[in-house]
Amino acid sequence: MTHSATQITYVVTPGGRLTGTVRVPGDKSISHRSVMFASLAEGISEVTGFLTGEDCFCTMKAFQQMGVQIERLGETHLRVHGVGLRGLKAPSAPLDMGNSGTAMRLMCGLLAGQPFASTLTGDASLSKRPMKRVIGPLAQMGAEIAAQEGRAPLVISPAKGGLKALRYASPVASAQVKSCVLLAGLYADGLTEVTEPEASRDHTERMLRAFGVAVEGRAGYAAVRGGQSLKATGIEVPADISSAAFFLVGAAIAPGSDVTLTEVGMNPTRVGIVTILKAMGASIEVSNQRLLGDEPVADLRVRGGALKGIAIGKDLVAAAIDEFPILFIAAACAEGETVVTGAEELRVKESDRIQTMVDGLVALGVCAVATPDGARITGGPVGGGTVDSHGDHRVAMSFAMAALRATAPITILDCLNVNTSFPGFAELARKAGLQLTVQG
């Protein structure tokens, strides 16, 4: 892991509880897509609630490099002047996707159909992540993508003779793979179809429909016909359930906590965290359910109490894939054993999240064992100590919340990347009652 010149360390004092009303920043997945689809639309779209994280700014800059005019009307308010499906211009330099696997994989599909060449790059962590899973199906569609050992940088050349529609059976349930193939499908002749072993997030299908594209979709299946144009629309981005997850677990494990999270995205393909925490005995009340644009949202009130260990199997993994780091903390604070299986996908995230989390838990004196596709965690006292987040934003925030139940201070190294998904995390957590200081 290359450490950048600026190092940020979290030091969290043990104990305390979380209280109050919290609105976490906008959904990262939806923010990326809002800029991509608004850029490809005909007309002017406005986006509110946009996540001001570094990853989403990378996506924004990429489209500006390809000739799209994007104005910031406020902190989280964008106006995007769409250029239409075929209106992008060749970028004069590589497009840097920062730390975001979502951005890189979706852009790969979108750029495969362009008449110009482009190069996608990313930071050290993103450059280690597997891209063969999108290069494979795109190549079957006729795309020309060069990559060393299936990793970034990705060099994309115009497809000779254009893209062909594909019926693709994805070996993994991955919204990123599915979305990549569907976006390429917009540039292909005929109907492009994707089937998956389990349902993955459907943000792409929902948002394409909001932009006027006919998309067929059901659990484990999505299809789009090529050549459809996108029409400008307004997008309201809900609060990110993956960011809300840290406060959900923090409040659930700390006695006396009482937190209400507002406007949280409750897309059925993303609510695994709520299902799992309720199964562990957490007190979570869901209220004020409504639609924000095409996405369901609700307010979540969570109160501290006793949790119990459970078995978490493959059926729940896809709907909570990004929330597993903080779920490992819930497991460490639960009575009995929690067994996670079917989650091998966690090994190819921003870090090997299974190993990174287990190593951190063991450093804090928790009984945890990594398995090839998950972990076994026995709840018990959480001690203090030093944990290396390996530059993984979700790991850093998870161990910060663990301090609510720790017996001594927890020091977390390499926390700079928290800004990629949750700008302002430290301030918001402190306001809610976490005793966190930032060094560096």
CA of 330: how far to CAs of 75, 280, 377, in Å?
33, 9, 10
Spell out the residues 6+ positions from residue 74 whose beta carbon is closer than 8 angstroms to its own. Answer: none
Which among 116, 122, 162 is positioned nearest to 142, based on CA atoms? 162
Helix orientation angle between 28-40 and 203-210, rounded to the nearest 10 degrees: 40
- Whether the CB-CB separation of 138 and 109 falls below 8 Å is answered with yes
Alpha carbon separation from 303 to 130, 284, 307, 431 (Å, rounded):
39, 7, 11, 17
List the catalytic residue out of 27, 96, 322, 414: 322
Could you give the CA distance from residue 400 to residue 300 in angstroms, rounded to a whole number?
Answer: 21
Tell me which residue of 217, 200, 176, 156 sits closest to 36, measured CA to CA.
176
Whether 322 sits among the annotated catalytic residues: the reply is yes
DSSP secondary structure letters along 181-246: HHHHHTTEESEEEEE-SS----HHHHHHHHTT--EEEETTEEEEETTPPEE--EEEPPBPHHHHHH
- Residue 33: what are its φ and ψ, rounded to 5°? -65, -35
| Helix/strand number for the chain, H first, E second | 14, 27
Tell me how far the alpha carbon of residue 202 is from its chain's centroid: 13
Whose tokens are 């996608």? That residue is 120
* 325 closest CA partner among 351, 290, 291: 351
- What value, to the nearest 5°, has the Cα angle with vertex 269 and ends 258 and 18? 15
Tokens of 410: 């927890």
Sheet holding 144-148, edge to edge: 95-96, 118-121, 151-157, 144-148
Which residues pair with residue 261 across a beta bridge?
A: 22, 300
Active-site annotation, residues: 322
